Chain A
Amino acid sequence: MKKHNITVGLEKAYVTTMMTIVGRALISASQYDDEVRREIAGMPTGYVLSMTVMPSGPGFTLRAEKDGSLTWLSNDTPADLTIRFKHLEHAFMVFSFQESTSRAFANDRMIADGEVSQAIRLVRCLNKLESIILPKVVAKLAVKRYPEKLAVGEKFSKALRIYAGVTQQIVKGR
């Protein structure tokens, strides 16, 4: 196998894992973080959002519930909003926090198919999530503005709950 193929294989594995983690973490954040919950509650109830890589994944698909929480759906569920990375490499850059989600949008790395205002909500949720779960030095690269109000204590306890939530979901396979 050529070196390039190994890299592509590894990146695909990484992006697949990260898609699962980020999708699951969004679900957790929608339970523990008021801001994220408010954003999701602002979406039409039952709105299905999906983030994926062209041509055929990996990705995650979530549904916005009335109370602002999110639920996990299988990737073949038709979505109201789909954000598609044009290439695996572009998704890798975003999920390895080398390029922020907003920057990826600005650089045409992905196509948003669906209502733009909902896409923006999703991006804000991702920003908040990254601010919470990533170490501050990394998060500062991944978001436009690191929330000044995010105290270390809040960050740590929320991060812990979100990580725990992700692990639990993955173990339970919900």
Chain B
Amino acid sequence: MAQSYYEFFCPVKMIAGHKALEHIPFELTAIGVSRPMIITDKGVRQVGLVDHVTNAFDGTDREVAAIFDDVPPDSSLKTVQAAAKAYRDQQCDAILAIGGGSVIDTAKGVNILVSEGGNDLTKYSGAHNLPKKLNPLFVVPTTAGTGSEATMVAVISDTEKETKLPFASYFLMPDAAILDPRMTLTLPPHITAMTAMDAMTHAVESYTCLSANPMSDAYASAAIRKISENLMDVMATPDNAQGRLELAQASTMAGAAFSNAMVGLVHSLGHALGAVCHLPHGLCMNLFLPYVLDYNKSVNGDKIADLLLPLAGADVYANTPQAQRADKAIAHLRQMRDELFERCNLPRTLKETGKVERSQIQQIAEKALDDGSIIYNPKEASLEDLIQVLEGAWE
């Protein structure tokens, strides 16, 4: 690369570790918030995670002014409008999002409406269509995967038009991300595995795709190391609080990396497979990751080779000749997938999902070709290339 250029932006305050939730009241007070509204979903509330947060307000002079817990698994315009109404009715002045990707995206959408006024979210869709800073938004992730607490994007479904509206703006970056081990402690094994492999993919793609830069590389490699070192421990002992916290941090770091360095073909194929066959995002990431790295290797084998160090540790890295490091890194990821398959049946091939027909490959390839992330993939991919990768991932 002759003349490089990059941008890196991540103004999110990280509040992470033991008793992190108890810092929320102070942080809200510090920026003048008095009536925060919690946005969450019923599942998160039922398992008592919202209580952890509201309890943190006990004995302080702040309180939670409202709780909106009606976020469906796929955030929609209607949900955003309903939550915005609740915010206005209760005269709230900040949002505290507690949940996974859908809750965080919904919260970002709500924040646009309550900050900008009106009820029409569609006019802010697209890139850089917000004129000014929004109201305060704090995020407490309950999965360790999406990384949305550190990104400037949100996707909201328009269920009537059956489209997904993308939003990208610097002002969609949350003000703070609160990572507390209590919030991910009860995540079931297969969700833990899927979301961790989503975070892994964010980090790997940030590091190996076209927009990679020194800042995002630092976040990405640190995230990969944390996931490799902790995922299997957490799978074996789910109540390992420190391991949970490490995964949560890795997810946020990977989010900061990919918000700046973007993602590539694993996501193009994953978005397409998810849409065509209704499979969870993390599952699709875990499935395609090694196949895409194999495909890209001829173009950026040197970057893939770097990954062996954070993936497998210093000894393995030092004992592997440079020429074999890329293959070894991919093999290491395959080995992780095998272990996850043993532990929670996380599929490694299209056939193993039991939800994909071989005849759907053409349709998936066509959809992937139109996916935004394909432009950041280091190696050009034609329809024929995509079909080949998909055929390779069949069994």
Which residues of A line the B interface, CB within 8 A?
Answer: 42, 98-99, 102-103, 105-109, 111-114, 116-117, 119-121, 123, 127, 143-145
Contact = CB atoms under 8 A, between A and B. Distances in A.
Q: Which of B6, B369, B376, B378 has the most CB of A within 10 A?
A: B369
Given A105-B375, A111-B127, A113-B127, A144 B370 contact: no
Contact of A116 (B128, B166, B379, B380): B166
Given A108-B7, A144-B379, A144-B380, A120 B372 contact: yes
B210 interface: yes
Nearest to B376: A106
Contacts of A106: 209-211, 262, 375-376
A105 B211 CA distance: 9
Contacts of B308: none
Given A105-B210, A144-B380, 12 more contacts: A105-B375, A106-B210, A106-B211, A107-B211, A111-B127, A116-B372, A117-B370, A119-B375, A120-B370, A120-B374, A123-B375, A144-B378
12 contacts: A98-B3, A103-B210, A107-B5, A111-B128, A113-B127, A113-B129, A116-B166, A117-B372, A119-B372, A120-B371, A120-B372, A144-B379
Contacts of A116: 166, 371-372
B126 interface: yes
4 A-B pairs with the lowest CB-CB distances in the bound complex, closest first: A116-B372, A145-B380, A117-B370, A106-B210
B60 to A, nearest CB: 41
B166 A145 contact: no
Q: Which of A42, A106, A109 has the most CB of B within 10 A?
A: A106
B126 to A, nearest CB: 5
Interface residues of B, number: 23
Nearest to B7: A108
Contacts of A108: 6-7, 211
Contacts of A121: 370
A42 B70 CA distance: 38
Interface string B1-12: 001011100000
Nearest to B4: A107
Nearest to A103: B210
A98 B2 CA distance: 9
Contacts of B372: 116-117, 119-120
A146 B299 CA distance: 13
Contacts of B3: 98-99
B380 A112 contact: no
